[in-house]
Amino acid sequence: MASSPQVDTTGLQAIVLGNVAGCPLVRHIVLAVPEPEALRRFVASLYPFLRFGSNLPAEGEKAVINLSLAAPALKQVLPVDVYAKLETAFRDPPDAERLGDAGASAASSWWEGQFTGDEVGAFVHLFATDDSALEAATAQVVQAATDAGIPELHPRAGGGRLDARYLAPGPVGKGARLHFGYVDGLSNAKVAWDGAPSDVRPVDPRAVVLGYNCDSFPCAPARDPAAVLFRDSSYLAFRWIYQDVAAFERFLTEKGPPLFPAMAPAVAREMLAAKLMGRWRDGTPLALSPDAPAPERGDEAFTFASDPIGLACPVSAHIRVMNPKGERLSGMAATTGIPQVVRRGMPYGPELAGDRDDGVDRGVLGMFVCASIREQFMRLAAWATRNNFSDVFPAHGKDQDTLIGNRAVPGATRTFAIPSAGGTGRVDALPDFLRTKGTQYLMLMSRRAMQQVCGLD
């Protein structure tokens, strides 16, 4: 394998580089497909405000703006032969079946019925330090879109936008809570941008940016001038995911105590939550501390190599399915390895107190940055839908990621086996904890790609 490239990060958009530091608020503004001239005008007026090369607001700034384009917009401005070289999965509508979006998550219900993915031209991603900065940046973007004659699309039936904000921070100052109460942001991939080995789970830049196609990191455009044009750009899979917090909390209350009868009910609930995720809700990995939380160990490295049957961490727990490090992979997975994505999601909606549903929309606006939608994002979604990539799973391969699996997928089992030294506990009717409300594939162009594609000087 060729040694990993040194990427000139000064041309990357902020989302690719990291969670936008110091900005607890995010807004995604969705725009319709523009005429080619309108797109050029819009990008030209927004361009001075786009943040490349840093994920920090510049001094005195309180907002960071990024822009990603959907396939129908790029189709307007690219030569036919160049457009045809973009990844097929990006150009096609999301394949809801392969993503496991069955039943209530079916594509027909996405975007609250307000529009379909092929009407989307662009997402503008605003990160802000406070509400007034968010509104000011919004006004700037809306003005630029209006001046260019590009209509905004509203993904909520009531006309609202997609806004997200950090919930409470995690214990010991690391990460931030998601709905369901888990801390996120402990293990996120660190990209080895300078080609140098890193101490924390380094991700090869070729898994994140285009233009460095090779056997181990295939991407499209693969080579020739189209690959040069899109070098250092990334694909972005945007996923609007509703979380049923009431169902989740009731599940813990009902199933936790009978599964772990020796524990006090409150402790049994927490143990079941940990078995679903592979981490205690404070972030402690079960692989390191299977019997009790130890939050100061949240960001320590670990593998599942010494736990082949899941005594500490069940084999279908979320983080084990998404990153089965140290596990022997089978079938095609043995060749492709573990897909890497850079996660930049943020929770939306108010926290729910208790376990009675209040009918309010809440969940996570997931952003998965990668160099191949098909090989990385879609493969992870397929792994969550069918646990069939390692011999640690039952041979039928129909178990699912316990947390994010969609139980309406035909043939999927709803069982969850929790092995322990004293025998295997079992849940027979795993509920759906999530519902997909939208999926959009986008392109986060590098500075140079944006200049060339949109005809900026």
Query: What's the min distance (Å) between Cβ of 43 and ligand HEM?
Result: 29
Among 184, 232, 249, 282, binds ligand HEM (CB under 6 A): 184
Tokens of 110: 């996405």
Residue 4 or 406: the one with the smaller Cβ distance to ligand HEM is 406
Within 13 Å of residue 228, how many CA atoms lie on the same side as its CB?
2
**Which residues ranging from 380 to 409 are in contact with ligand HEM (CB under 6 A)?**
380-381, 384, 404
Nearest to 420 by CA among 219, 268, 238: 268
Q: For residues 19 and 243, which CB has a smaller minimum distance to ligand HEM in the complex?
A: 243
Q: Does residue 441 touch ligand HEM according to CB under 6 A?
A: no
Q: Cβ of residue 456: shortest distance to ligand HEM, in angstroms?
A: 34
- Least CB distance to ligand HEM at residue 449 (A): 25
Which part of the chain contacts ligand HEM (CB under 6 A), choosing from 29-37, 129-137, 301-309, 363-371?
A: 363-371
Identify which of residues 68 and 446 has a Cβ nearer to ligand HEM in the complex: 68
Beta-strand (E) ranges in 70-219? 120-128, 152-153, 162-165, 176-177, 183-184, 190-191, 202-203
Token pair for 6:
């040194």
- Of these, 94, 256, 349, 366, which contacts ligand HEM (CB under 6 A)? 366
> Among 126, 341, 409, 450, which residue sits at the site for ligand HEM (rule: CB under 6 A)?
341
With CB under 6 A as the contact rule, the residue among 364, 430, 443, 450 that binds ligand HEM is 364
Residues 108-167 that bind ligand HEM (CB under 6 A): none
Residue 297 binds ligand HEM (CB under 6 A): no
| Contact between 368 and 442 (Cβ < 8 Å) | no
Q: Is 177 in the site for ligand HEM (CB under 6 A)?
A: no
**Can residue 240 be called a binding residue for ligand HEM (CB under 6 A)?**
no
Which of 76, 187, 385, 387: binder of ligand HEM (CB under 6 A)?
A: 187
Q: Name the β-bridge partners of 124.
A: 29, 67
Structure tokens at 86: 């973009």
C-beta contacts of 272-277 below 8 A and 24+ residues apart:
273/180, 273/181, 273/182, 275/313, 275/314, 275/317, 275/402, 275/416, 275/418, 276/317, 276/318, 276/402, 276/403, 276/416, 277/182, 277/317, 277/318, 277/319, 277/403
Among 19, 243, 316, 385, binds ligand HEM (CB under 6 A): 243
**Nearest to ligand HEM of 145, 277 (CB atom):** 277
How many residues sit close enough to ligand HEM to count as binding (CB under 6 A)? 27
DSSP character at residue 409: S
Name every residue whose Cβ is closer than 8 Å to that of residue 396 and which is 6 or more positions away in sequence: 413
Residue in 280, 283, 278 with CA at minimum distance from that of residue 313: 278
Q: What's the CA dihedral at 259, 263, 266, 271 to 10 degrees?
A: -60
Which residues are CB-neighbours of 356 under 8 A, at least 6 positions away?
A: 246
User: In the window 303-332, what residues touch ligand HEM (CB under 6 A)?
Assistant: 318-319, 322-323
- Which residue type occupies 271? M
Interface residues toward ligand HEM, by CB under 6 A: 175, 178, 180, 182, 184-187, 239, 241, 243, 277, 279, 318-319, 322-323, 341, 343, 363-364, 366, 380-381, 384, 404, 434
